[in-house]
Structure 1
Amino acid sequence: MSSQTLRQLLARPSILVIPGIYDCISAKLAEQSGFEVVATSGFGIAASTLGLPDYGFMTATEVLDSVGKIAQSVNIPVIADMDTGYGNALNVMRTVKDAVKAGLAGVILEDQEFPKKCGHFEGKRVIPTIEHVNKIKAAVQARGDSGLVIIARTDARAVLGLDEAIQRGRAYIDAGADVLFVEAPQSVEELQVIAAAFPNVPLVANIIEGGKTPQLSAAELEKMGFKIVFFALSTLLAVTKVMKACLQELKEKGTTKDFTEMMTFDEFKELIEVSKYLDLEKQF
């Protein structure tokens, strides 16, 4: 199972570098590039699916449909950003059960009020600690014996300060979360404080280019004591820039023959395994 593979990877001493992806193509490219795990970006899925910011516009059904297709498209574990779980503890239980059915390896559940916002946006609000504790307990019960990895995220740093975020983190780990994700620390010193507070807990750092957290390397974060580093928007920002440049060149010149930042048609056919399906077509 993909969740057991993820647990084996978490048991290794080295840090896990996990790119954020937002569709099947980005997931397949990450797999092809040698990454062992991918994580869906709620920001990226909202932007690519709806053309809207990460403001809680996506429904549970829409997210599960997207991340389920992504999980089916690759042979590596997929961690899904499941926002707040889409309601109370009972809603979280359904979300987690559906995540297991979809073949996900892990889920991220955050303590924002619904509708939530991107962790690096202003104006976030968080629910009471005990409410998210109960959501985590509900998630643990709902996953059963699936091994689904539960990543508890707190957004309290921006709202109530770092000390409160650390207190919440302890409560969420005590409730049964496997991994802790303190979102958007704002300095190297804050990252160090978080790592020192949880020496025996797998910790997430989330690096957003232009976001609130310092853009440290995986090696630097590993030295601090972090177990996972998400580069949540790197693929989305990169592909958007290249696509914009391609469209501008096409508009200005009426051709793309000199545009070099483009995969060849044969390379793309290989990525989506056209030859495999041609062989199957011949077989049947």
Structure 2
Amino acid sequence: MLTSAVTPAERRVRLRAALAGTDLLRFPGAFNPLSAKLIQRKGFEGVYVSGAVLSADLGLPDIGLTTATEVAARTAAVVAQTDLPVVVDADTGFGEPLNLARTVQTLEHAGVAGLHVEDQVNPKRCGHLEGKSVVDEATAVQRISAAVRARHDPNLLVIARTDIRGVEGFDAALRRSQALVDAGADALFPEAMSDLDEFARVVAAVDVPVLANMTEFGRSDLFTHEQLRDVGVRIVIHPVSLLRLAMGAADRALDALAAQGTLAGEVPRMQTRAELYDLLDYEAYGDFDAGVWTFSLEGNRPG
């Protein structure tokens, strides 16, 4: 009730332990705290907070317009409503190495189990779009080194994301991946791989867990969890999927409302009041309130 009783430190330990195994960890993207509760209920291993989703939720494109404060606030709200480890998109770190270090500590205090920092030039672009640029290797390495040094909890997972595949090709992505791991990254996020073979080659080239981004309408095919597991990928994120589904449903419902003057036809596809209250654990709040609402006016002066 109210917030999760599982501490951030415990979640980080659990994530590290899970990554020491062999199974694929599935992290759907939460577009709000309530959807994080649903992700947990459905049996997934973790929750992802996407920078693109947070930007879209603010009505902004994903081009580096959000602030570290906004990301931390939304992430803390998500962390509070799930027992699962939460991994957050820290973009380019919101500044130079000292700014990045503060971002890492701010997100660590928000309760995340992991975060990823990328090697794009500011202002950043979606990793599956044209027009993006990456920093040189020295700057990319400096970012990861700063993130690793800044964390207080050594179990906080620092994930290095590289977007160089879409700029300079796959061989450059392999070289950049190895340099980022050498800089201390705990896991690797190679963005916009073209096929499963490229994922397999990255997995073979580094000795840390590899993350795959299965975003719709991007450069990569939507590989199944089984396919990713078979080539050695350890974490998969579906960053914008739930937001896209929710906005698609809202778009269709508003069309129906405008055309028909009622949403009666959409009711069978809605989450019911009972389902919402069950997900919110509404009953527990009533029980708690009843247990503390015990004051008495007996003995007080009248009037």
TM bin, normalised by shorter chain, reads: over 0.9
Which residue identity lines up with residue 282 of structure 2 in the other structure? V
CA displacement, residues 130-155 of structure 1 (integer Å, 9 cap, x when unaligned): 11211111111111334100110000
Identity over aligned pairs, percent: 40
> What is aligned with 2:232?
225
Q: CA deviation at 1:197?
A: 2.2
Whether 1:251 and 2:258 are equivalent positions in the alignment is yes
Counterpart selection for 2:34 from 25, 30, 38? 25
Distance 2:283 2:95 in 1: 44
Answer yes or no: is the 8 Å Cα contact 1:100–1:146 preserved in 2: no
Answer yes or no: is the 8 Å Cα contact 1:20–1:233 preserved in 2: yes
Task: After superposing the two structures, state which structure 1 stretch, 188-197 or 225-234, moved more.
Answer: 188-197
Distance 1:95 1:241 in 2: 33
Describe how 1:50-199 pairs up with structure 2 within 5 A.
50-198=58-206
Task: After superposing the two structures, state which structure 1 stretch, 206-215 or 140-149, moved more.
Answer: 140-149
Answer yes or no: is the 8 Å Cα contact 1:206–1:232 preserved in 2: yes
Number of aligned residue pairs: 282
CA displacement, residues 172-205 of structure 1 (integer Å, 9 cap, x when unaligned): 111111000110012333233323323x321011
Distance 1:188 1:139 in 2: 29
Distance 1:12 1:187 in 2: 24
Distance 1:129 1:242 in 2: 43
Distance 2:31 2:275 in 1: 20
Distance 2:62 2:171 in 1: 26
Distance 1:238 1:4 in 2: 32
Which residue identity lines up with residue 132 of structure 1 in the other structure? A
Whether 1:271 and 2:279 are equivalent positions in the alignment is yes
Answer yes or no: is the 8 Å Cα contact 2:212–2:233 preserved in 1: yes
Distance 1:196 1:47 in 2: 35
Which residue identity lines up with residue 204 of structure 1 in the other structure? L
Counterpart selection for 1:14 from 4, 20, 23? 23
TM-score by length of structure 1 reads 0.95
Task: After superposing the two structures, state which structure 1 stretch, 229-238 or 182-191, moved more.
Answer: 182-191
> What is aligned with 2:5?
none
Distance 1:255 1:243 in 2: 14
CA displacement, residues 106-126 of structure 1 (integer Å, 9 cap, x when unaligned): 001001112211111111111
Which residue identity lines up with residue 151 of structure 1 in the other structure? I
CA displacement, residues 24-45 of structure 1 (integer Å, 9 cap, x when unaligned): 1221110111112111111111
* Structure 1 portions without partners, runs of 5+: none
* Structure 2 portions without partners, runs of 5+: 1-9, 293-303
Distance 2:197 2:13 in 1: 34
Distance 1:35 1:188 in 2: 23
CA displacement, residues 217-249 of structure 1 (integer Å, 9 cap, x when unaligned): 111111111111111121111111111122222
Whether 1:203 and 2:210 are equivalent positions in the alignment is yes
Distance 1:240 1:88 in 2: 35
> What is aligned with 2:249?
242
Distance 2:289 2:200 in 1: 55
Which residue identity lines up with residue 18 of structure 1 in the other structure? F
Answer yes or no: is the 8 Å Cα contact 1:126–1:159 preserved in 2: yes
